[in-house]
Amino acid sequence: MSVILQTSDLWRTFGGVAAVAGVDFELREGELRCLIGANGAGKSTFFKMLTGQLKPTSGRITLYGKDITRLPSFAIARMGVGIKTQVPNLFNGLSVHENLMVAARFGMPAREAADAVDAMLERIQMTSQARLPVGSLAHGHRQWVELGMILINDPRLVLLDEPAAGMTAGEVERTIALLEGMRGKRSFIIVEHDMHFIRRIAERVTVFHRGRVLVEDTMDEVVRNTEVRDAYLGSAGTKRAST
Ligand SMILES: Nc1ncnc2c1ncn2[C@@H]1O[C@H](COP(=O)(O)OP(=O)(O)OP(=O)(O)O)[C@@H](O)[C@H]1O
């Protein structure tokens, strides 16, 4: 499979702190990659540069062969990229249906959008809540509405920052099922802390440590890697990851 996203010697410094320090990274078409690492390892900063939320200090990001290093988020989204940031992008006063419709209308005419919204309501299993204001929903449900808004335009590449954050175990399972249905058909980069989620969904994992890529491997190998254990997982993390 061809490489669709690449970073070369990517840096971002804040004052004297190098949050991301020379990262070379590649994602292939159809891949589902998880980014993990301890707090402060640089995952979010790296993710924000991929999504145009933060400008790199130096280095280069290429997407589908195009230099996107200095592009803003909306321009990257227009290239067929679905982006979920840590801060929710929802209209609390509008219903679930209306939120999905707003997203759908970016990419398609009204009649097609109405059908797409109905189909997405079924996919995220929220047809019965379609008329409820998003502001009245529980956290996990709000996350699904946002996922639905991202997926409704059928992005080729999906970038998710902590999609399982604050979800109950049951909600995490439903999120996994939603993403499983797209595995191999679309490409993903997912930043996540929830080790159960990572363990269930990850193919290859990229472990960040002090702004650099410490290791890139399958989750099984990552858990076995003593350097990773020392740097990140610790004995508690290893136990969590193996359950
Ligand atoms: N806006 C900022 N200003 C100053 N320093 C920052 C800023 N954003 C991040 N940093 C610093 O950069 C380093 C990497 O932070 P980053 O948030 O990317 O790590 P992370 O791996 O995503 O951590 P977490 O899992 O807690 O989100 C940290 O030392 C952090 O304090």
Q: Where does a domain end: 153, 181, 208?
A: 153
Question: CA-to-CA distance for 23 and 210, rounded, in angstroms?
Answer: 11
d(C-alpha 120, C-alpha 4), whole Å: 26
Q: What is the mean pLDDT of residues 127-142?
A: 94
Atom of ligand 1 nearest to the CA of 40: 19
Range of the domain at 133: 90-153
Same domain, 136 and 185: no
CA 94 to CA 174: how far, in whole Å? 24
User: What strands lie across the sheet with 187-191, from one edge to the other?
Assistant: 81-84, 157-161, 187-191, 32-37, 204-209, 212-218
pLDDT-derived band at 234 (thresholds 50, 70, 90) equals low
The enclosing domain of 186 has a CATH number of 3.40.50.300
- Residues 125, 174 within the same domain: no
| pLDDT at residue 195, rounded to an integer | 84
Tens of pLDDT, residue by residue over 166-177, are: 888 899 999 999
Do 76 and 169 lie in a common domain? yes
Do 132 and 143 reside in the same domain of the chain?
yes
* pLDDT higher than 50, residue 128: yes
**By percentage, how much of the chain surpasses pLDDT 90?**
74
The arithmetic mean of pLDDT across residues 181-196, rounded, is: 91
State pTM to two decimals.
0.90
Of ligand 1's listed atoms, the one at least distance from the Cα of 191 is: 22
Domains of the chain: total: 2
Choice between 237 and 59, residue whose per-residue pLDDT is larger = 59
Same domain, yes or no: 145 and 163? no
Q: Tell me the pLDDT of the chain averaged across its residues.
A: 91
**Domain end call among 153, 180, 202:** 153
pLDDT band per the 50, 70, 90 thresholds, residue 236: very low
pLDDT, residue 131, reads 97
- The tokens for 211 are 């702004």
Instruction: Judge whether residue 242 has pLDDT over 70.
Output: no
Q: Which two tokens stand for residue 130?
A: 């379609």
Give me the amino acid identity at 100.
Answer: L
ipTM for the whole complex = 0.95
Residue 193 pLDDT: 85
In testing the pocket of ligand 1, which one of 20, 23, 45 has its CB within 8 Å of the most ligand atoms? Answer: 45
Q: What whole-number percentage of the chain has pLDDT above 70? A: 95
Reported as a single tens digit per residue, the pLDDT across 97-109 is: 999 999 999 878 9
Instruction: Give burial (CB, 10 Å; 0-12/13-18/19+) of 116.
Output: buried
Residues with CB under 6 A from ligand 1: 14, 17, 19, 37, 39-45, 208
- Cα–ligand 1 centroid distance for 107 (angstroms): 33
Q: Is 67 exposed, middle or buried (0-12, 13-18, 19+ CB in 10 A)?
A: exposed
Work out whether strand 58-63 and strand 66-67 pair parallel, antiparallel, or are unpaired: antiparallel
- Give the CA count within 13 Å in the CB-facing half-sphere of 159: 23
Residues 6+ positions from 200 with CB-CB distance below 8 Å: 176
For residues 105-117, give the mean pLDDT: 91
Does residue 26 carry a pLDDT above 90? Answer: yes
Provide mean pLDDT across the span 53-68: 97
